[in-house]
Structure 1
Amino acid sequence: MRREYSGQALRAAAREAAHRAADRAAGQDHDGGFPAEDVADLARLGLLAGPVPRRAGGAGLGEEPGAADLAAVLRRVGAGSLALGRIYEGHVNALQLVARYGDAAQRETLFRDARDGHLFGVWNTEPGQGGLALRPEAGGFRLEGRKTFASGAGRITRALVTARTEPGAPPLMLVVPLAPDTRHDLSDWRAHGMRASATGALDFTGLRVGPETILGEPDDYHRQPHFSGGAWRFAAVQLGGIDAVLDAWRGHLAATGRGVDAHQLARLGEGALAAETAQLWVSRAAEIVAEDRLAPDAVVAYVNLARLAVERAGLEVLQLAQRSVGLQGFLRDHPLERLARDLATYLRQPAPDRALVGAAGHVLAAGAASGDLWADPGAAA
């Protein structure tokens, strides 16, 4: 029997999952931690199957006009637990790549896996030496090498990874089935925050896969605007982390009676302004990517600015909240302490300077007036 989905039901499911995740998050905050019960909630509530297209028995989460439901779900899950949000965003990313590049048989198999509760992830980062390679052999391929900074290591059972058949060749995507609690090493992940994300290395050496695991054509993974444009999803999760910090800060001011102080109110007002600014950027970025009406370089430029706007908002809210709460916010029994560590860590995304310079280059070269840089080309002047 197929589950009936609606945007409202998906948002309610995300709210329930986030509430439960927030209650468990402190207990998961240790090296090697992982939100296993929270992922089980995502499966139970239909959110693991949510990104599967409707025609394949899912909710089509992200297919709706403007991707507003997906943005709201990612934000809400991130507010409950940034570690869970990071894992879920990778799951969504993987299924969107399957929908875009998979053939009919791959889509049928992998979407069924998602409906059955398998957790997907996207792992692209590699060590300087020993990156993932595909070695042809009879009937398929043998994998050699590792992926690093792989969130959900040892827990992801369907890993979408990039691999090369030879050095310098364009990478191929493949979806590799993995047994849980195998091939992973979490010993190098001793991060300030996001300790419950089970981030580590995966050694694929010796694993044999068939040609049916290869998704799309060489270098499809990096095709624009989808590669860089997808950054709006992690920005939506970060926005949820900003919400959680803001809520902990507000709760502290209310509980201590310090909210009557004009200076504290001014800080809180600045924090609310930053959070809402981030929300507006995320909403518009999700809409631009979903509508797919702008040129790829314009989409990438806007999303790069959006991710940086969210980063700036997050850093501002962190600074304001920690100054407002004071030393108590750095004590481990205070709600703000873990939330701040997780957000500060998750805000560190790759190549922010390159993202800014690239977006600025687009702005400089664009022939349109500043107010029309990201206007719908089909709209009337």
Structure 2
Amino acid sequence: MPVAPTLAFQDTLSRFRNALRLLEKQEEHGPVDDEENFPSRLLQKIAEIGALSATLPVENGGLGLHDSPVGMEALSELLRLAGRLNLALGRCLEGHINVVRLVSLYGSAQQRAVLAEYLQHNILAGIWVTDGTPPVALVRSGNEIRLTGQKGFASAVRAVGVALITARTEHGDTVMVLVPVGEKARMGPGPGHLTGMSGSGTGSYDFTGVVVPSTNIIGKPGDYLRQPEFSAGAWRGSAVALGGMDHLVHLLLDELRGRGRASNPHQQVRIGEALILRETASMWVRRAAMAACNSHAEAGETVAIVNLARIAVEQAALALIPLVQRGLGVMAFVRGRPVERVMRDLATYLRQPAPDETLTEAAGWFTEHEWPKDMT
């Protein structure tokens, strides 16, 4: 059940938000990261203001951002800012937060403390679930487990220090395992060169021969796919995408002002439409965040609202991209310019699995149920 934030929590949260705003101002005219490289400099700055450990539960030294509506708003701000600064950074921060959330929900007190120890040393966590060849499996041996196989789509493979992975047991079940990573010899190439999001540092990681204590298994078999969390967590990705939209709108306005074209009535139509799209996405992200922390709602309702938000943000972002292209003309297609890079990154980031199924399942829920009257 969401809890009311204390005055101490609100004070800490206020200082955290101020630090985020200061970072945004510092980066606005700062150097642009090489899109082929992981944004290590930005990650370091995010870590310095405490963003990696702030996502922990209160009892583990964090702010417990998932525990109240005001905390969820702050978490949304963090993810949105990260996406605005750099979508590859946002993708990796969202994965980090996913790890914290899953361990908080399904892990033991000792496991939560172990993860907190990593994060308090500013170590980035990653969630790697897409298998390579062969897939990751585990075999128990006394109080230890031995892993085999590869993860083939490991985001930030050279920056992550601890990964939450899925693995198949001898009985065919799927379990989550928290594993220290970072051995360069185990790192390999990813699925190929993506047209966008290349800065996310996606590669492969070979777990063959890795031995960890059996206490590193998080939760029970099937917990990773347990609803509503499995689907409801998608709101965080939508918040990152919203940050990418913020960046595009900013670049559109900045370029048109620089050309002296912002007052042109045709361009003002595009500006107005861009603002509508961005704010529509913003309202849906907030709606999804509030649904995700509503402990009184049925799981199906939570999943349906978050899924509708995911599709709404995707549609708004995909409509924004050609709008920016029409507004800026051929200069929006010059390889390496910030606006061209952000559009490629955003288009790639939005390609999440099963959009049609996501939409129809959400519509199916509200075909049989009324829309909730109070989301807060």
Q: TM-score range by the shorter chain?
A: over 0.9
Q: Deviations over 1:116-168 (max 9, x none)?
A: 111111111124x521100122431111111122211122111001111137x
Give the Cα separation in 1 of the matches to 2:83 and 2:351: 15
Counterpart of 1:178 in structure 2: which amino acid?
V
Q: Which amino acid aligns with 2:17?
A: R
Distance change >3 Å, CA 20–CA 179, structure 1 → 2: farther
Query: Is residue 123 of structure 1 aligned with residue 134 of structure 2?
Result: no
Query: How big is the shift at 1:244?
Result: 0.1
The 10-residue stretch of structure 1 (184-193 or 239-248) with the greater mean CA deviation from structure 2: 184-193
What's 1:109 paired with?
114
Residue 19 of structure 1, CA deviation? 5.0
Please say which of residues 115-124 and 300-309 is displaced more in the overlay: 115-124
Partner residue of 1:171? 174
For residue 36 of structure 1, report the CA deviation from its aligned partner: 1.4
- Secondary structure of the residue that 1:29 maps to in structure 2? coil
1:15 has 2:18 as partner: no
Judged with a 3 Å threshold, the aligned counterparts in structure 2 of structure 1 residues 179 and 149 are, in CA distance, closer, same or farther, namely closer
Aligned length: 367
For 1:374, the aligned partner's letter is P
2:92 maps to what in 1?
87
Q: Give 3-state SS (helix, strand or coil) of 1:131's partner.
A: coil
Q: Which amino acid aligns with 1:191?
A: L
Deviations 1:250-288 (A, max 9, x none): 001100011121111001101100100000000011011
TM-score (norm 1): 0.91
The alpha-carbon distance between structure 1 residues 221 and 56, as it changes in their structure 2 partners (threshold 3 A), is same
Q: Does 1:134 align with 2:132?
A: no
Structure 2 unaligned runs (5+)?
1-8
Q: Which one of the candidate residues 355, 362, 369 is aligned to 2:365?
A: 362
Confirm or deny that 1:295 pairs with 2:298. yes
Structure 1 pair 218/5, CA: closer, same or farther in 2 (3 Å)?
farther
**2: CA distance, partners of 1:259 / 1:329:** 16
Q: Which residue of 2 aligns with 1:44?
A: 48
Decide which of 2, 12, 15 is 1:6's aligned counterpart. Answer: 12
The residue aligned with 2:153 is: 149
2:58 alignment partner in structure 1: 54
Q: State how far apart, in whole Å, the 2-side matches of 1:35 and 1:150 are.
A: 16
Deviation track 1:302-339 (CA, whole Å, cap 9, x = no partner) reads 10000000001101111100111010111135321111
Does the Cα contact within 8 Å between 2:33 and 2:39 map onto a contact in 1? Answer: no
2:6 maps to what in 1?
none
Instruction: Report the CA distance shift for 1:20/1:318 in structure 2 as closer, same or farther (over 3 A).
Output: same
Tell me, yes or no, if the aligned pair for 1:53 and 1:59 is still in contact at 8 Å. Answer: yes
Closer/same/farther in 2, CA of residues 224 and 265 from structure 1, 3 Å limit? same
Q: Name the amino acid aligned to 1:68.
A: E
Asked whether the 8 Å contact 1:157–1:180 carries over to 2, the reply is: no
Shift of 1:77: 1.2
Instruction: Mark the runs of 5 or more structure 1 residues left unpaired by the alignment.
Output: none
Correspondence for 1:374: 372
- SS of 1:173's equivalent in the other structure is strand
8 Å CA contact 1:174, 1:215 repeated in 2: yes
- Report if the CA contact (8 A) 1:17-1:80 is conserved: no
C-alpha distance in 2 between matches for 1:24 and 1:202: 33
Tell me the equivalent position of 1:63.
Answer: 67
Counterpart of 1:49 in structure 2: which amino acid? S
Q: Is the partner of 1:55 in helix, strand or coil? A: helix
Counterpart position of 1:270: 273
Q: Which whole-Å CA distance do the structure 1 matches of 2:31 and 2:316 have between them?
A: 23
Instruction: Tell me, yes or no, if structure 1 residue 76 matches structure 2 residue 99.
Output: no
Out of 37-46 and 7-16, give the one that drifted further.
7-16
Question: How far did residue 344 of structure 1 move?
Answer: 0.9
Alignment partners' CA distance in 2, 1:157 and 1:358: 36
Deviations 1:84-128 (A, max 9, x none): 01111111110111111111111112112111111111111124x
8 Å CA contact 1:294–1:376 kept in 2: the answer is no
Preserved CA contact (<8 Å) 1:154 1:182: no
Supply the distance in 1 between the matched residues of 2:110 and 2:10 (Cα, whole angstroms): 24
Shift in Å, 1:63: 2.4
CA 1:179–1:309 in structure 2 vs 1: closer, same or farther (change >3 Å)?
same
What TM-score comes out, normalization by structure 2 length? 0.92
Q: Which amino acid aligns with 1:153?
A: V
The 4+ residue runs of structure 1 with deviation greater than 6 A are none
Deviation, 1:15, is: 3.2
The whole-number CA distance in structure 2 between the counterparts of 1:163 and 1:76 is 33
Q: 1:364 to 1:194 in 2, by over 3 A?
A: same
SS at match of 2:303: helix
* Rounded Cα–Cα distance in structure 2 between residues aligned with 1:147 and 1:20: 36
The residue that corresponds to 2:282 in the other structure is: 279
Cα pair 1:20 1:80 within 8 Å, conserved: no
